Structure 1
Amino acid sequence: MRLSMLSRLYLVVLLIALCACATLFWFSSLTLNMTILVTLSILIGSFILARFFLSDFRSGIEALELGMLNIKDGEFSTSLSYQKEDEFGRLCSLYNETVEQLRKEKHWLYQRELLLDKVTQSSPDVLFLTDNEGILVFSNIAARDFFGSSAGIEGASIYDLAKNAPNGFDDVIDSMKEGLFTLTPNEQEQQTWHISKGSFSLNNHPHILFILKQMTRELSRQEVAVWKKVIRVISHELNNSLGPISSMIHSGKILTKGSEDERLSRVFSTIDERIKHLSEFVQGYGKFAKLPEPKIQAIDWQPMLTQLSAHWQFTFDTSVSATVHVDPVQIEQLLINLLKNAHESGSDREKISILFKQINRQSIIEVSDRGQGMADGVLSSALIPFYSTKSSGSGLGLALCREITDAHHGHIALQNREGGGVTVRVVLPNLV
């Protein structure tokens, strides 16, 4: 049996006392019984004195042992009460200072964990962590939404979860490649995403962190920015040319005033008419390139539709009463463009409709018709500036709708309907 340090000190004291008493048996004139009695008395007295003088040693040892047990259990809120001015007192004081520092660091780490969790959970990017076998050990809210789960998905296999993800994600996970990829969510337009991953060791086990970022809106924003720059350059050059031409035509009319040549008059009239048309054309593109920031305000949905129905024929649910926070001028322009396209699609006017609903703090507007529909190539290019299938179209109607939607931090999508026709779906967040 292994003795404690305190027990060994007691034993040393007793052995020293016993050695000192051994001389009594050889040099003392006391009887044997008296010698044994004196020896026992000395041993007992030595033990009592040793216990008295080593009491602080025992208290210090017990205090330090209790403190180390607390550290082992991860408990840093308890301080040692040993306050005597000796070596153990200094050790206990140093222990208390160390525990206080550890307590502060633990609190700081806890606050960092809370902050990190808050940032990751509120991030719009899809974040999830897997072990080397593909089992999820962490995911944020965006990841759970991405995989179509309302509850926690920790402990599930990424390969099983990929089956519930948007179409195309399972191929991305199988290939384990980084970069851009496309997904096709149900009943939505194709989306562009970017995936990146990082490998690191957690608790001496390899893990992989996946970060998925929705790039559709960013790419669309950059694309629109490029188109706007092109439009501004073209508008500037055209305006620089149209001004002098218009002035020359005016001068030509003055110089030929009184001439009876009808051909010359027709030439001037035709040039003047084309200049006006071109000026209106440039102004339309300039309106797209310089769309102002939306002035958000609360408006009633029904009065807006009632006002539009005075100029455009369409059906809508008159029982839906809601308040939306949008720029009324821009949203009215968006609806006018969509209704104009619907009426020019060849659809019967009574089959053109506007559906409005609010779901999860989002306002959803759907403008539907029963026209000829669109080919897949047209659907994918309809929102691009300058693109139009109409001989007299400017290609700005739907592009302006997308610009207005983006300015409201929403998104727009086109989809063919079963039985013919197109539905344009506009989703706007409640900006309050």
Structure 2
Amino acid sequence: MASDRRSAVRRAPAEGFRFEAKLKLLVGVLCLPIFVLSALLIWVERVSIPWGLGVLLALGMVLLLVSSIFIEQMVRPLHTLANVVAALREEDFSYRARNAVPQDALGELAVEINQLADTLQFQRVGALEAVALLRRVILEMDAPVLAFDATGALRVLNPAAERALRLNAARDLGRNASELDLRRFLDTGDEGIVTVEAQNQQTRWMVRKSTFRQRGVPHVLLVLSDVSTALREEERAAWRRLIRVLGHEISNSLAPIKSIAGSLRHRLEQKGLEECAAEFERGLNVIESRAESLNRFVQAYRQLAQLPAPVLRRVSLQTLLERISSLETRVPVQVGAVPPADLMADADQMEQLLINLVRNAVEAAISRHEDEDPSEAPQVRIHARTSAGFASIMIEDNGPGITNPANLFVPFYTTKRTGTGVGLVLARQIAEAHGGSLDLRNRVDSRGCQAEVRIPLAVEHEASLEFR
């Protein structure tokens, strides 16, 4: 193999004189004066022609032999180093240069090339071990792992994916994702949920997506996590919380109704209808009040559970905030700096979201003014800014602030005497349905609360739809 590499190097085309030719020419130039001086000396000494020619021939043979040995000693180490470098280029790290000794020009070069070969060999072994370890980890993983190239062809498949998705590596590697009914996994976003139904059983997979390059070609790596059990547990926990809340609210309304009805029937048996008229009126008023409270609770739950999908249209941010501020009459709502921008949103749902937040801010500011510090007037301010394709709407008040942030978005949890506990939950659902978010926090510049609503801008939203 070494001779093949060396011959390949020798056959490589070169421009001008080769190194060996230059070296031979240099040796010939150095030997020529010796040969000429020897010929002159023979001529001066008047040596006979046969003896002179013999001497010159012998001298020429000696010079040729010495020159050949000299050239060979110069060229052979370079050929050896070239073979070692060629082997390194072909990722063959078994070759080493000989005569690698310090304090010598060629020796130091050989030492450096050998050290380079050792380093590359160590790195190569480490890379192979890392790849082998990664391959073993992927094979032993319980989570399905798949990789697709830029054309959507399946390139990597581990046994867990074969079992979970009923695939076969020998048959399906190289086939397109659409043929294998895996396109939905590629089309979903990172940490998206894909539902797969098989044999009357529903499995929900969370898709974790990343990209990598193999030999310069971009690939998409998918790691699937079965979240069916976790989601079912969350659903059961949500149902338990919901049933507990519903049971609590219904019991709070039915218990006094039952008690009052029993008391009225007992009084009716003792005194008669005419004497109990006033008590009947008071009792019926209580029953009516509790029934109305229960009805408000049920309607609030229906509103939370049946939120329709938003109908997205361009909405002027400035116009929207000015209209919201004008609807509140208890406290003047100040509108601060608002950039000229349009939202891609459902105007009715956005108004409902912002009205809930402004109402909460006004009530918080009024409660502090009435209960804690009557000298400080209630203040509510709305302003907005844009960044990274989103509009951030800030609603700030000078109320008491958030005292229990853990329960902010717990359904039906409220600290108000007449609250239903669904306003903030409904507002967050509306924001997330628009691809945005809702965040509440205490203000850092003064006492009070700040609500931030992030909603996509119209231009960015349209561009993403067009890209898809």
TM range (shorter): 0.3 to 0.5
What's the TM-score, normalizing by structure 2? 0.42
